[in-house]
Structure formats: structure tokens, C-alpha cells
Amino acid sequence: MSPVDDLASAFARSTTLNHDRVASDEDAHALARAFSVPKDFNEILQSKSSVELRRCIVDDDAFDDLLRSTRSVKESTAFARDLTSEIERLSAECERLERDAGHLAGHRAVVENGDLREAEEAYGRVREEVIRRQSTMKTLPALVADARAFAMNLEEQSRADVARATRSKTKFLRDALDDLIERLVERQTRAHRVKLIASIVDPSD
């Protein structure tokens, strides 16, 4: 019998149930081993020399090394390594969250046990200042009235400039006339803009 056959027979004996006796825990382990044989196990056996196969038959460590060289064992080892790494990462994350929770609990305790009188006094001072400023502020109707009075004043200034220019006996130079027209246009435009804003804010008039 060849070394391959010897190793296959040994493996078969270790994974075969004995039907002549009552099933035991050993039978369950043998069944589990039989169903967990790597798919490339026979291929690996064929690639080994006679010396290596004989060593696997008599040496458990050599046989374990042979199993570890199979594709499925390598994949399961890599999966276990990745899973372990993920568990370690999650464990570190949980520890960080616990520390953060501890810090938040400490901050909450400081706030709950702290003296809030200074904060209350500061709030009171701010509130008084707001009330004082509100009392000195003009109401919206008053602001609208001021805007309309400002617009009327601009229009009166324009009419006064036109009247002075009309009464003047002096002949206007071209530059002086241009300046007068520019001032009139600017005032009228500004007055119109102010009256327009006032009518939008308070369209009662």
C-alpha cells in the first residue's frame, strides 16, 4: 500500500463512525472531521513526497501543518484574523465612548452643582440694558415720519436752489449750470427713494 493510501486510510479511520457500538462523543467529532475535509486536501496529498506523507502519518504536528496548507484553512485563518481585528477595533471604540460618557457625566455634575447666581445676575443686567435701549428707540411710525420729513426737506432745498438761480442776474457758466443740475437730480432721486421706502413700510398715507 502506498503512503497516500496509508494516509487516506488513517484519515478515513479517524472520520468513520463505528456502527457496531452505541454512538458516543467521539463519533460526533469523527463526523465533524469528515464533513470539514478541505476540498483541495487530495490534491495536496498527491503533491507530497513519500517521505512527507509517512511523516504526516506518524507525526501529528506534520499532519496539522498539512491541513494548515489547504486553501480553506488559510481562508478561515484570514477570516478569523480580520474578525479579531474588527472586534479589537469595536472594543477600542466602546472604550472611547465610555470615556466620553464619563466626561459628559462630569460636565453635567459640574453644571448641576455649580452656582448659577452669577449667570442669573449677568442675564438680569443684559435684560435691563435691552429694556433701556428699547425705551429710547423710536417707534416705526416715528421713523417713517422722520423719513418723509427728510424727503420734503430735500425737495425744498431743490426748489430754493432753482429759485435763486432764476432770480440771479448773473449769467451761469456752463460748469456752474452742470453742477446745479447734478445737485437737483441727486436730491430729487434721494427724496424719491426715501418716500418710496416710507410708503412701503407704512402705506397708510
The 10s digit of each residue's pLDDT in 108-130 is 776 667 666 777 888 888 888 88
CA distance 205 to 201: 11
Please give the grid coordinates belonging to residue 61.
Answer: 504536528
SS3 category, 57? helix
Band (pLDDT 50/70/90 cuts) for residue 65 is confident
Is the pLDDT at 180 greater than 70? The verdict is: yes
pTM above 0.75, yes or no: no
Q: For residue range 154-169, what is the model confidence (pLDDT) as tens digits? A: 888 888 888 887 777 5
CA distance 85 to 135: 67
CA distance 132 to 126: 10
CA distance 156 to 151: 9
Neighbour count for residue 187 (Cβ, 10 Å): 19
CA distance 73 to 36: 10
CA neighbor of 16 nearest in space, from 32, 31, 6, 5: 31
> What pLDDT does 177 receive?
74
* 17 in Cβ contact with 31 (< 8 Å): yes
